[in-house]
Amino acid sequence: SILYVKRKQNEPPIVPYWIPVIGSAITMGMDPIKFYRKYQQEYGNYFTFILLGKRMVTCLGSEGNNFVFNAKLANASAEAAYKSLTVPVFGKGVVYDVHNSVLMEQKKFVKAGLSNENLRAYVPMIEMETKNYFSRWNKQSDIQDVHKATAELIIMTASKCLLGEEVRSKLDESFAQIFHDLDGGFKPVNFLFEDLPLPSNKLRDQAHVKMRHFFMDIMKDRREKGITDRTDIMQYLTTHCQYKDGRKLSDEESAHIMIAMLMAGQHTSSTTTAWALLYLASQPNLFNELRKEQIEVFGSLDEPLTFDGIKKLTLHDNVVRESLRLRPPIFNVIRKVLRDLPIPGTQYVIPKDSYIQSILAISHRSEGYFENAETFNPNRWVDFDQNVKERDDDLVDYGFGVLHSASAKSPFLPFGAGRHRCIGEPFAYLQIKTIIAVFVRMFDLELYKNKFPECDFTTMIVQPKDPLVQYTRRDN
């Protein structure tokens, strides 16, 4: 029947489903963690479910992570999986609209632009934006939506640091609406279907054109005024970047890369910050610990934050890491399989045109890798670092006080691994740690009605539902 997908010989087991065409979309969508755990128990680390007629081969555990992240270019493609979602948002000539070798060059440009020298300049900017933002929480104590706050704040800090102060200065007016419309087109349905005639996609397309022009006009203006001393990514992309074949990065490509960075960094960082603050609110004694750490590093809570100081805040780091372990914002990492693909160590062969996906939250929250895996315990990383140092040769030191495994075999991969690994990690840590550092100086926090929010899995990035907190100001 065309409605049911028939299992091929040797392909991984297919999760049974009762509604043709839709397949397992409904049961999976309601509580994906429960769904994947259930079938992992039943079938092991590899099984397929059908999502609107597509074969989604789920690859779990550190072994499954490795299979997806280290898949060879000829076997599995990120661009084939992400194109329909991202190209209309980011634009042509960048990221998943180009051959992987071009993306690799573009990632190198951005990585070089996020130099330590530039990151150093971002700390006072983030500190100031955070203080200004939270000055609006001006009662002695009140109830607030913490995710709304982090989303509003992070677009301010990220645009000031990365996109430039011209963009930041337009955030209260034109730019916010353009971002809103573009973001409205960045949703899972566009992964499943190409060119859907949705009203939100029409707004997305208009917003893309507006944002490109917005950035390109600033580039032109800077050139006319001879401005060359900025620390943002726009400055770096438009002055320093040349492909290996000698061609300079065009302004249009620079604008599209900036849009891609904005979209890649915004929800990932704002939800991570929100979850981190929620976990802290669930263990309010950690606020004192964090302040103690800052006093040790900076001398007092009145000293300005610095890049070198932020680097030394290990507990702050571990709070972010533990939040990323329990709530990795990118839920599933997907590739499209380009040819029949055997899974090493099994008898399975994945049919061409299937999708393979890694679900990071499953290995992050598995007892096999993390003791009391469901508990938020930032101090687990102290031992973990020690253990990892002894057994993992692929560690990368970003200079943030913690070592990050670059091996795709690690059970902890919130930033991915392999050729598609995130280049925003150092910036993300710096930004989130600085915001938390300012926040704990200003406030104490508790969960509203002692309730820890559930996950909303229907959005691109897993968000907290009704994330209400009760703050108390420390400074008046």
Which residues of the shown chain bind ligand HEM in the complex (CB under 6 A)?
78, 103, 107, 261, 264-265, 268-269, 272, 329-330, 333, 414-416, 420, 422-424, 427-428
Nearest distance in Å: CB 272, ligand HEM: 4
363-379 in b/e form (b: 16+ CB < 10 A) is bbbbeebbeebeebbbe
Taking the complex as a whole, the smallest distance from the CB of residue 79 to ligand HEM amounts, in Å, to: 8
Q: Please, what is the minimum distance in Å from the beta carbon of residue 78 to ligand HEM?
A: 5
Closer CB to ligand HEM, residue 27 or residue 190?
190
Separation of alpha carbons 27 and 30, rounded Å: 6
CA distance 266 to 288: 29
- Smallest separation, CB 261 to ligand HEM (Å): 4
Which residue is nearest to ligand HEM, using beta carbons?
Answer: 424
Distance CA 323, CA 145 (A): 18
| Distance in Å, CB of 363 to ligand HEM, minimum | 13
Of 24 and 269, which has the nearer Cβ to ligand HEM? 269
Considering the complex, state which of residue 175 and residue 448 has its C-beta at the smaller distance from ligand HEM: 175
Start-to-end Cα distance in the chain: 70
Q: How far is the CB of 8 from ligand HEM (least distance, A)?
A: 26
Rounded to the nearest whole angstrom, what is the least distance from the CB of residue 64 to ligand HEM in the complex? 14
DSSP string, 302-365: TSPP-HHHHHT-HHHHHHHHHHHHHS-SB-EEEEEE-S-EEPTTSS-EEPTT-EEEEEHHHHHT
Q: Closer CB to ligand HEM, residue 23 or residue 416? A: 416
User: Hey, what are 461's tokens?
Assistant: 């990035």
Nearer to ligand HEM, 298 or 415 (CB): 415
Phi-psi category of residue 287: left, alpha or beta, with phi > 0 → left and psi -120 to 50 → alpha: alpha
Contacting residues for 118 by C-beta, under 8 A, at least 6 apart: 231, 232, 236
Q: For ligand HEM, give the closer residue by CB, 45 or 266.
A: 266
Question: What is the rounded distance in angstroms from the CA atom of residue 160 to the CA atom of residue 105?
Answer: 25
Block residue for tokens 């995710």: 147
- CA dihedral sign of residues 392, 393, 398, 400: positive
DSSP structure class, residue 162 = I
Smallest distance from ligand HEM to CB 282, Å? 20
Nearer residue to ligand HEM within complex by CB, 378 or 414: 414
Closest CB to ligand HEM among residues 5, 408: 408
Give Cα 8 to chain centroid, integer Å: 35
